[in-house]
Structure 1
Amino acid sequence: MSVSTAPETSRDTEIFELSAPDIPWMLIVWNDPVNLMSYVSYVFESYFGYSPEKAATLMMQVHTEGKSAVAHGSKEKMEAHAVAMHGYGLWATVQKDGQRG
């Protein structure tokens, strides 16, 4: 008698499909007329731990395009990041990844 140790493909797929909608969320930081570009870079470096180069790239995207997706993850984590950004005086929103803002 042989016992199969292969995963149940249909069950694995169902689990993935049930959890997938909660995964792709992003934090959008929007341009504003108040904060200096150097301050926005500082926030990205100090809060997210981004390198000065990555922080500058994201800040320039906010400045030139009006917004930037600065973080991706669970809805709850992105909402916590948005609250933190508001605490720094930045305008930030959360949206499902793939949507246009």
Structure 2
Amino acid sequence: MAVVGASKCSYDGGVAAPQTTPVQSPDVETLPATDRPWITVVHDDPVNLMTYVTWVFQKQFGYDHDKAQALMLDVHNKGRAAVSAGARERMEYDASCLHGYGLWATVEQN
């Protein structure tokens, strides 16, 4: 195990002074490898119209109308739908873009 210094701030009456606390973290080689892909999940909300959500899926992901509408109906009827899958960084980017459209999106490991 490697020891990593974690910064912790304490209040001393007006000035915040950082303190270092040793934290145990596993070596990178001992972490389990995983091949599970990440997904971007869109959640149902009471704000956005179904036609708008369909349009966002077409615009953001290039889906045809039928696929975008099927995903929107999953969001509406099931409360959520996985709209993209791949590397974590890309899924975080997709979720961020969906937030820009006003949709509620999260990233999960599938």
Q: Give the TM-score, by structure 1 length.
A: 0.75
Runs of 4+ in 1 over 3 A off after TM superposition: none
With a CA cutoff of 8 Å and minimum separation of 6, indicate the structure with the bigger relative contact order.
1
Tell me which protein shows more strand as a share of its residues: 2
Query: In structure 1, what is the equivalent of residue 69 of structure 2?
Result: 56
The number of residues matched between the two structures is 79
- In structure 2, do the counterparts of structure 1 residues 81 and 27 end up closer, same or farther at CA, with 3 Å as the change threshold? same
Q: Give the TM-score, by structure 2 length.
A: 0.69
| Deviation sequence 1:23-67 (CA, Å, 0-9, x none) | 500000000000000000000001100000000000000000000
What CA RMSD, in Å, does the superposition of the two structures yield over aligned residues?
1.3
* Runs of 5+ consecutive residues of structure 2 not aligned to the other structure: 1-31
Tell me the percent identity: 51
Larger Rg: 2
Q: Partner letter of residue 54 of structure 1?
A: K
User: Out of 15, 26, 30, which is 2:39 matched to?
Assistant: 26
Matched residue SS, 2:47? coil
